[in-house]
Structure 1
Amino acid sequence: MFSFLRTFASVFIILMFIFILQSVWLYISELAGKGLDVFIILKFLWFVSPKLIPLVLPLTILVTSLMVFGSLSENYEFAAMKSTGISLQRAMRSLTYFILLLSVTAFFFANNVIPYSEYKWLNLRRNIQQFKPSMVIAEGQFNQIGEGFNIKVSEKYGDNDQFLKDVVIHKKEGKAKQNNTVIIAETGELTSEENSNTLSLILRNGNYYDDVQPKDQKKKLRKPFAKSYFEEYTINIDLTELNNKDVEKENKLSNHNMYNVSELRTEIDSLSTSFTKNISSFAENMHYRTGATKHFERKNKAIKNNVSVDTLLNLFKPNQQAEIIAIAINNINSTIETIKSKKVEFIVKNKRINKYEIALHEKYALGVACIILFFVGAPLGAIIRKGGMGLPMVIAILLFLTYHFIGIFAKNSAEDGTLHPFIATWLSTLILLPLGIWLTIRATTDQGIIDMDSFYQRIKRLFKKKEKNS
């Protein structure tokens, strides 16, 4: 027990450190070059760490089980136990209780800690993005910086994204904040002094357009404007509000990973009810738009009046039938386009519901996966009789990658509606369940993974039968 806990703690710390380094590499562009305090960076990593537990914990259990039980089997400690009447099940009993306790803890951790850390991480991430003016400027869209400036650029480049290309600026002035000034430049550069609340935007090779606002109504109808060309033009933007951004500011965020089990169930019920109502109302609307109800009423009226009709068109005069057909074709084309747009909308809504259902089942699947991976790793380590960081680590990584990638592919299929979210979430765990049962049976009966002697004997018997028949 002590050996397992010591190895478990060591492997967990090593794997956690590796995954945190991966997170740093993944989000380095959001942290570097913004003048952030070390405390804020550590806080960012602290909030992102709980998200890594669903990856690190199952892998830790699998690696630890393989290493510890492989080492015990390699040193013939299991043989000594069996000689004294201690079976493998009895040797695993205390560790089984520990894994069960760990699985329950993992569920409560996933249900309470991870949603809270997800919110705090996304909230901090959004606040950090406000620290650097160039990060506020997104390519290909208008972005508001300071008071009264909307800036659009086609491209950003440079070490700190300080150089801009194809700059368009709309400057709002007056109490009404009217957009009377437009500045267009080929290139621009963002510069500012350290600890300064003023951002200097240097524009080069551009034009300045200004709508003149005369007081005379007659002159205003002429829409006068002023235009000038410049080689270099500097705009100073007050960043007092931008620089006063608080990393502790609480933003309104919503994400399926931010909810616990009870909140997820409520959200799923609400989304499902709303989705069903939307489909029902859309179906009724489409049925009404076809005019089928009115046509059936007209046909029933004709039948009551003993008027024989083969088609609905025969109820109308010949000169009206062509118009009706043209209108029907236009209605059909319009209906098809409406259905296509609604189909996309329904796919998005269904995908959102599936994400919430996946998040719900993942909280339960984490604890069960810990138990199953223990019963895969422990008997497999006893069978291969090899401890240490070599072969057990290779086998553990291969098994975990198989488990992990099956889960990823299944969840991606569930988001698109190909698989049910319940099946997709539990698929990788259920695939390993028979493997764990089979390995446990083989280990408790002192059998290897493959009994080569029995295999060769069956091959020999097969050849002997063929010789006799010939």
Structure 2
Amino acid sequence: MKTLHRFILKSYIGPLVMTFFITMFVLLMQFLWRYIDDLVGKGLEWDVIAELLLYASAGLVPMALPLATLLASLMTMGNLGENNELLAMKSAGISLPRILSPLIVLTIAISIGAFFFSNNVLPYTNLKISTLLYSVKQQKPELIIKEGVFTNLIEGYSIKVSERDQKTGLLRRILIYEHKNENTNTTVTYADSGYMQPTADQKFLVATLFNGNTYKEVRDKSKNLYQQKQKLPAQHQKFEKQVLIFELKGFKLERADENFFKDSYQTQNIKQLQKVEDSLKQAFNTQIKLFSQNIIRNSIFRNPYWLNRDSTKKVKIKLDVDSLYNTLKPEEKIRAIERAIDNARSTKSYISSSKDEFYYKQKYIARHKIEWNRKFTLSFACFVFFFIGAPLGAIIRKGGLGTPVVISVIFFIFYYIINLTGEKFARELIWDPNLGMWVSSFILLPLGIFLSYKATTDSVIMNADFYIDKIKKVLNILKFFLKA
């Protein structure tokens, strides 16, 4: 490898790694903000949170990698131009395509790696994070005894505490209703004070109560509910110290079965998506054929043997519907009209329900096509963004995190809006999924070619001094004419 190539790669890899992790951090914070309500107050262990962040980071790579490529290429070529290193290379007879050749090879390698990541790693991480997020959402909130509020998180019990000492943890005026057997408050416990602490394994809650009373209604199962309401004997127990143990169910994270999420299009690779899509298309075409036959058999023709008729033979019977209708009696005409209206209404209802079903099945097929194309758009987006950022950096000749960040964010927002719009149109069957997923890349590709051509020919199209000089010349001409 030539010294020049090593220098270019060294100048590029540093900003690429830095911008990639900065972008990942920003997107990860956005992910946490989105799911903060589902995570806070669940008492999750640190390893569960770390696992969730790891899978979420992998899922954010398709957004972070193209933006990092754009920003790093723009910064690298901008730094070289600002320090006159790019000018020195061109003065030595080295063209811009030759200067960019090692970066082009590296970008191709990154694009290929991004494709294999999207096809092999991303479906696995999507499966894991879908399962983990579902499990977290199903978990009960962390058990917190609040003052003056009934807590119903423990199954079969309602607990209320009037005061809580924040320093010692002592609870005052504790009221416990037990209704786990018959869903009624048959047992009531009141204590002047006490402590409540979960066990080390978080399976039980131990309540130590002081100076209280327990009241319990005694039900006679041999009598019906009305007879029991007439008179209910009760038990009264006074205690100085009592220990109650509550079983904590649902407070520990229980992971859902991954098999429930394996059929999702987001958890499949290209081969699986293609197989499922072919099966869905075949089933859809079969349903369309059956729908056509049912419409003809049940609506257009009422003869059950019409499908068995030899279609090569011409029908010799000519029937005049108007003449036949006129031969009917008045009551027969009414019955015929009513029957025709009923048939038309049932056919309309059948067509309407089938139309909605066909629409949703087409949308489901389109989702598989979208995911199939998404495996390739990530790789191609990295390639396109490099050929936007590198020539643009060579033209503007500004390095650092100032101007390159602003320009990169503008281009990425433009790309992201077009990509979201195209994907939405594809999901709603307005556009073909192939067009919807590739429209953003195909719009930016001519821009990359144009900027590459301008950078190769040393254009000043993005140089602010060029426009400032032009404006000054126009102002001087206007001043000359005004004085004349």
- TM-score w.r.t. length of structure 2: 0.70
**How far off is 1:386 after superposition?**
1.0
The answer to whether the 8 Å contact 1:295/1:312 transfers is no
**How far off is 1:287 after superposition?**
2.2
Q: Which of 89, 95, 117 in structure 2 is aligned with 1:87?
A: 95
**How far off is 1:193 after superposition?**
6.1
Q: What is the 5 A alignment of 1:217-232?
A: none
Distance 1:267 1:316 in 2: 55
Relative to structure 1, the CA distance from residue 2 to residue 312 in structure 2 (aligned partners, 3 Å threshold; closer, same or farther) is: farther
Structure 1 segments, 4+ long, off by >4 Å, are 181-184, 196-200, 212-215, 223-228, 236-241, 303-309, 314-318, 450-453
Kindly provide the CA deviation profile for residues 296-348 of structure 1, in whole angstroms up to 9, marking residues without a partner as x.
97xx9xx8567654466357554322112112212222322232222222222
Q: What is the 5 A alignment of 1:261-410?
A: 261-294=270-303, 304=316, 308-310=320-322, 313-314=325-326, 316-410=328-422
The amino acid of 2:117's aligned partner reads: F
**How far off is 1:242 after superposition?**
3.1
> Which residue does the alignment assign to 1:256?
265
The answer to whether the 8 Å contact 1:213/1:224 transfers is no
Distance 1:86 1:392 in 2: 24
Gaps of 5+ in 2: 1-8, 144-152, 157-178, 186-195, 208-219, 231-243, 475-484
Distance 2:293 2:184 in 1: 51
Kindly provide the CA deviation profile for residues 7-41 of structure 1, in whole angstroms up to 9, marking residues without a partner as x.
11111111111111111111111111111111111
The amino acid of 1:349's aligned partner reads: K
The amino acid of 2:267's aligned partner reads: M
The alignment partner of 2:430 has SS state of coil
> Which residue does the alignment assign to 1:12?
20
Distance 1:287 1:226 in 2: 66
Relative to structure 1, the CA distance from residue 146 to residue 419 in structure 2 (aligned partners, 3 Å threshold; closer, same or farther) is: farther
Distance 2:13 2:95 in 1: 21
The answer to whether the 8 Å contact 1:197/1:243 transfers is no
State the aligned residue count: 384
Are positions 1:103 and 2:111 aligned together? Answer: yes
**How far off is 1:98 after superposition?**
0.2
The answer to whether the 8 Å contact 1:410/1:425 transfers is yes
The answer to whether the 8 Å contact 1:68/1:381 transfers is yes
Distance 2:142 2:128 in 1: 24
Relative to structure 1, the CA distance from residue 257 to residue 306 in structure 2 (aligned partners, 3 Å threshold; closer, same or farther) is: closer
The alignment partner of 1:449 has SS state of coil
The alignment partner of 2:392 has SS state of helix
Are positions 1:122 and 2:134 aligned together? Answer: no
The amino acid of 2:59's aligned partner reads: K
**How far off is 1:86 after superposition?**
0.5
The alignment partner of 2:266 has SS state of helix
82-91 or 251-260, which deviates more:
251-260
Are positions 1:60 and 2:68 aligned together? Answer: yes
Q: What is the 5 A alignment of 1:167-178?
A: none
RMSD: 3.7
The alignment partner of 1:448 has SS state of coil
Distance 1:313 1:238 in 2: 81
Q: What is the 5 A alignment of 1:61-210?
A: 61-132=69-140, 194=198, 195=202, 197=204
Gaps of 5+ in 1: 136-144, 150-169, 174-180, 185-191, 201-211, 229-235, 461-470
Q: Which of 40, 44, 47 in structure 2 is aligned with 1:39?
A: 47
The amino acid of 2:101's aligned partner reads: R
> Which residue does the alignment assign to 2:163?
none
Distance 1:335 1:329 in 2: 10
Distance 2:319 2:346 in 1: 32
Q: Which has the larger radius of gyration?
A: 2
Relative to structure 1, the CA distance from residue 224 to residue 21 in structure 2 (aligned partners, 3 Å threshold; closer, same or farther) is: same
The alignment partner of 1:247 has SS state of coil
> Which residue does the alignment assign to 2:189?
none
The answer to whether the 8 Å contact 1:67/1:388 transfers is yes
The answer to whether the 8 Å contact 1:197/1:239 transfers is yes
